[in-house]
Structure 1
Amino acid sequence: MTSSTTDIPQGDGHLARSLGHGQMAMIAMGSALGTGLFLGSGEAIGIAGPAVIISFAVGSLIAATIALAMGEMASRHPVRGGFGTLAARYLSPFWGYLSRWLYWIVTVCVTGTELVACAAYLAYWFPGVPIWAGILLFAAVIIAINLATVGSFGVIEFFLSSIKVIAVVVFILIGALLVLFGMPGQPAAGFSALTADGGFAPMGWPAVWIALSVVMFSFGGIELLSITAAEAKDPARSIRTAARTTIVRLAFFYVLCIGIVLCLVPWQQAAGTGGDVATSPFVMVFDRIGVPGAAHITNLLVLIAALSAANANLYAGSRILHSLASDGLAPRIAAHLTARRVPAVGIAFSSIGLVGAALLAFTGVGGVFGYMMSLVVFSVIMVWALILVTYLSFRRHGGHGTSFRMPGGVVTACGGLVGLAAVFATVFVRPSMQIAAMVGIPAVLVATILYVAVGRRRLVPEDIDAAFEEAEALR
């Protein structure tokens, strides 16, 4: 039985349940469908050539196991803190603590770097505007959006993500037309480019595996399905719909878009498309059919994509911090909600990445963002692995979704863990993954020491139990 929002107790600590299932799916899409598709796919193409299509297909299968496992658990327990609170219950309080703090670090770093991208895209039109000023401008926009009611946030994020989805659909339709039928005076491109210039796998089949280290993080953001469950109007229906549609859309969009790009653009040329807007795969396809101002259109799209991703990550960071504070694992003040049921203190703390990005841009310090993103890579792998391990424990203790179950259950989850292990194994051959391990492992050690020294004494198990009781009462 579903409670209406008017039935929900509004005491301090209870988030408002205002998100519809369409909004939940779009919030997850807003984080996952970002500049990686519009600009950043060139690096993966450069590693594997046309065979990167297989990398994206395999990556989507791995991501699907994570999304579906979260969907099943969250439909049963739509708790604040999502997968982190579930890990605290089904694994141990330490793993719940670690997964949430690691993911908070991810959201802080990603929010800051996405706003750096926004500022760079703004400078494409207004080169006189300093990067730090652009960061502060867009920071004010997303903070204002997040301080509004969660319903308003959902509407705005739905709108921003819809623009990206429409753009991708238009791109696919135009690209498919060029590949299959051509245009007046322009013959169909066909599929010959996929095997030209060295064949389908010019860098060898091992490169398909190595490219996964880049491809997998195009799917980052699906974790939001679990976090938004605590603010869903109808958790069971919303999670079921969002989990299924999000992963299908992402797989369809990424695989089809990359395939179309590689049919229309020689892969060596597409491999160099990660640098700027003017050489984006989108611009190349739009230029091919003579769309005027293709670079300006693409710049607007990537700006919206980055702004939407920053907006969604700030939301996720504030909710994760709220759950940590509610469990005694972060300053208790971060659990406070405004009259609009918004964790304003959590939003303020989670904005540290925005301030840091502006300061780094102002002082001209270089190289820091590379390490920040390496930490993101390592943390996301750990979080995803913990989600699947939590799911295995969830099923071992007799748990199952009330209205939604992952096809294959435990077998599928184990397959996802094998896939994540394969992605992590690229640490032996990719320098960027080695940096990720060098930054990430010390970060985990520091977090563990802090938990033993401080967090373990502050943790009140009853707080975790209360989160599950609250979710059960409102589900």
Structure 2
Amino acid sequence: MSSSDTPDPVGGTAGSTAVAHPPVAHTEEAHHLGHTLKPRHMTMLALGGAIGAGLFVSTGAGIHTAGPGILISYALASVLVLLVMRMLGEMAAAVPRSGSFSEYAGAAFGRWAGFTVGWLYWWMVTIVLAVEASGAAAIAHGWLPGVPIWVFSLVIMLVFTGANLLAVRSFGESEFWFATIKILAIVGFLILGALAIMGWLPDADAPGLDNLTGKGGFLPNGWDGVIAGLLAVAFSFGGLEIVTIAAAESDNPARNVARAVRAAVWRILLFYIGSVAIIATLLPWDSDRLGSPYVSVLEDIGIPGAANVMDIVVFTALLSALNSMLYGASRMAFSLSKRGEGPRRLSRVAGNGVPRVAVLASSAFGFIAALLNVWWPEQVFKHLLNSVGAMLLFVWFAIAASQLVLRRRIEREDPDRLIVRMWAFPYLTWFVMIALAAVSILMLFDADARPQLLSSVVVVAVVLAFALVREGRRRGLRKRARARF
């Protein structure tokens, strides 16, 4: 048996792209994905996906909702995402796959599960990348008001579609530098904020702990505010999972994904919690300047042109997140196609190792959604956005449930593959599943979050029903085929 046919503990073979079933035979010429991503590319890809406009723009809304207690909200959300990524890192290091959690769900529960998780994730990220494109276009329109926003949206989507059609190493390099710019900006903000808090900057007055403990105390809106804040920030960390999708295109998937997951998760937690702590310390939680919290802090510190500086940083962050999301969507579509769960043409790979048809298909929906966001933001796009409002909860739950099943299978068949291990298994895995269910219940009783949850549930139900009907038809065809012989 060749090395490419090494038994795979989660089903199939280590060299195949299928997990729970053999790969579907294709008549078209196909190539394998490239394997040129380095650990630094993978880490920055994760950071690029997770650090979007939400960190720079939405932080103020969270602080206004929960007061300084938003730090508890972020801490709770951080623990949850840390555990989810640990589970996903365990599976991705053991069996790297371009479909990542979609393939693991299929291996654990059947093809219907892989189909459902994969296409729901694809739907989610294509909607999100449209949001990023529209946000970046709005900033560019502020710089050049004579150019319509839809033109900027179109140009941005064209540019990043082209970037994703390049060899994966070129894409990795571009994302590395995009992510580097915003990371440097965050690090600079953390340093300046810490100096201002300690009173070491000439133009900034040290507030001490007044903004954390005064004006109603640390929890001015009580625990209800913390819960509302948790619902507001729980989805801020979406995008980290892209690093496990990229593992299949790295030169050493098992080792690189383990390193990238550790590095990305801890950096994300530092950037988010550190930034929020500085803002909550330097600005009163009831300030009317929390609409642009980073700009307000930098202006108070005495940074000239703070608004223009942050416009550039946010613009870069949006483009970087869009770039990562388009990559994740195209690889998920490619993986689904290779497993026979999507149109065959999506699995065709160009000579440079890029699934160009999958990239074009994913960006085409992004084009449409971005224009809908510009032309009919309330009438059409709001409903599309609601449909993915709670989708990340479903994906995270699927990751936890899959790890619960596959961990035992890998331990039984090939324990040496467990390079990364989930802590306190299975107790923390069950804790995550219960916590995600609790967050869903909280969303149901929150007036702002309820439409998102219900819309997402409808989409999940439709895709799941389609997957089950599809699987039932396949089983019927197999039974009739066996009956003939």
TM-score normalised per structure 2:
0.88
Which residue of the other structure, out of 187, 190, 194, is the alignment partner of 1:172? 190
Which residue of the other structure, out of 425, 429, 433, is the alignment partner of 1:409? 425
Whole-angstrom CA distance in 1 between matches of 2:81 and 2:469: 35
Whole-angstrom CA distance in 2 between matches of 1:99 and 1:201: 38
Per-residue CA deviations over 1:194-220 (Å, capped at 9, x if unaligned) read 112111101111321221111111100
Whole-angstrom CA distance in 1 between matches of 2:327 and 2:410: 32
Aligned to 1:94: 112
Asked whether the 8 Å contact 2:133–2:370 carries over to 1, the reply is no
- Matched positions, count: 450
Aligned to 1:68: 86
1:449 aligns with 2:465: yes
Give, as a single letter, the amino acid of the residue that structure 1 aligns with 2:283: V
Identify if the C-alpha distance between structure 1 residues 45 and 370 changes in structure 2 by more than 3 Å, giving closer, same or farther.
farther
Which residue of the other structure, out of 381, 400, 410, is the alignment partner of 1:388? 400
Q: After TM superposition, list the pairs within 5 Å mapping 1:109-124 onto structure 2.
A: 109-124=127-142
SS at match of 2:156: helix
Q: After TM superposition, list the pairs within 5 Å mapping 1:279-298 onto structure 2.
A: 280-298=292-310
Stretches of structure 1 that go unaligned for 5 or more consecutive residues are 275-279, 460-475
Whole-angstrom CA distance in 2 between matches of 1:305 and 1:162: 10
Which residue of the other structure, out of 425, 429, 441, is the alignment partner of 1:425? 441
Whole-angstrom CA distance in 2 between matches of 1:94 and 1:147: 30
Whole-angstrom CA distance in 2 between matches of 1:433 and 1:367: 19
1:440 aligns with 2:477: no
**Highest CA radius of gyration, 1 or 2?**
2
SS at match of 2:58: coil
Whole-angstrom CA distance in 1 between matches of 2:336 and 2:410: 26
Which residue of the other structure, out of 260, 281, 294, is the alignment partner of 1:263? 281
Q: Which moved more, 1:381-390 or 1:350-359?
A: 350-359
Aligned to 1:30: 48
TM-score normalised per structure 1:
0.90
SS at match of 2:34: coil
Give, as a single letter, the amino acid of the residue that structure 1 aligns with 2:442: T
Give, as a single letter, the amino acid of the residue that structure 2 aligns with 1:111: L
Asked whether the 8 Å contact 1:71–1:225 carries over to 2, the reply is no
Aligned to 1:254: 272
Aligned to 2:290: 273
Whole-angstrom CA distance in 2 between matches of 1:13 and 1:384: 31
1:47 aligns with 2:59: no
Q: Which moved more, 1:74-83 or 1:422-431?
A: 422-431
Aligned-pair identity in percent equals 34
Which residue of the other structure, out of 139, 146, 149, is the alignment partner of 2:167? 149
1:214 aligns with 2:226: no
Which residue of the other structure, out of 156, 173, 187, is the alignment partner of 1:138? 156
1:354 aligns with 2:376: no
Per-residue CA deviations over 1:351-400 (Å, capped at 9, x if unaligned) read 13322234325644524333222222221110010001100001232445
Aligned to 1:345: 357
Aligned to 2:19: none
Aligned to 2:102: 84
SS at match of 2:378: coil
Shift of 1:423: 1.7
Shift of 1:257: 0.5
Per-residue CA deviations over 1:285-320 (Å, capped at 9, x if unaligned) read 211122221111100000010111111001000000
1:239 aligns with 2:257: yes
Asked whether the 8 Å contact 2:203–2:300 carries over to 1, the reply is no
Asked whether the 8 Å contact 1:395–1:410 carries over to 2, the reply is no
Whole-angstrom CA distance in 2 between matches of 1:359 and 1:30: 23
Identify if the C-alpha distance between structure 1 residues 335 and 34 changes in structure 2 by more than 3 Å, giving closer, same or farther.
same
Asked whether the 8 Å contact 2:71–2:276 carries over to 1, the reply is yes
Shift of 1:266: 0.8
Identify if the C-alpha distance between structure 1 residues 452 and 183 changes in structure 2 by more than 3 Å, giving closer, same or farther.
closer
SS at match of 2:206: coil
Asked whether the 8 Å contact 1:135–1:354 carries over to 2, the reply is no
Aligned to 1:315: 327
Which residue of the other structure, out of 342, 361, 375, is the alignment partner of 2:387? 375
Give, as a single letter, the amino acid of the residue that structure 2 aligns with 1:444: V
Shift of 1:158: 0.7
SS at match of 1:206: helix
Give, as a single letter, the amino acid of the residue that structure 1 aligns with 2:36: S
Give, as a single letter, the amino acid of the residue that structure 2 aligns with 1:321: A
Shift of 1:425: 1.8
Identify if the C-alpha distance between structure 1 residues 176 and 362 changes in structure 2 by more than 3 Å, giving closer, same or farther.
closer
Whole-angstrom CA distance in 1 between matches of 2:111 and 2:370: 35
Whole-angstrom CA distance in 2 between matches of 1:295 and 1:361: 25
Give, as a single letter, the amino acid of the residue that structure 2 aligns with 1:441: V
Shift of 1:190: 1.7
Whole-angstrom CA distance in 2 between matches of 1:147 and 1:421: 39
Shift of 1:458: 6.1
Asked whether the 8 Å contact 1:326–1:335 carries over to 2, the reply is yes
Asked whether the 8 Å contact 2:290–2:296 carries over to 1, the reply is no
Aligned to 1:366: 378
Asked whether the 8 Å contact 1:374–1:433 carries over to 2, the reply is no
Aligned to 1:299: 311
Shift of 1:187: 3.6
Asked whether the 8 Å contact 1:136–1:354 carries over to 2, the reply is no
Identify if the C-alpha distance between structure 1 residues 174 and 311 changes in structure 2 by more than 3 Å, giving closer, same or farther.
same
CA RMSD of aligned residues (A): 2.3
Shift of 1:416: 1.8
Asked whether the 8 Å contact 1:50–1:201 carries over to 2, the reply is yes
Identify if the C-alpha distance between structure 1 residues 132 and 64 changes in structure 2 by more than 3 Å, giving closer, same or farther.
same
Aligned to 1:472: none
Give, as a single letter, the amino acid of the residue that structure 2 aligns with 1:144: G
Asked whether the 8 Å contact 1:114–1:307 carries over to 2, the reply is yes
Aligned to 2:209: 191
Whole-angstrom CA distance in 2 between matches of 1:177 and 1:375: 42
Whole-angstrom CA distance in 1 between matches of 2:268 and 2:232: 16
Per-residue CA deviations over 1:76-112 (Å, capped at 9, x if unaligned) read 1001201101110122211111110110001110111
Aligned to 1:18: 36
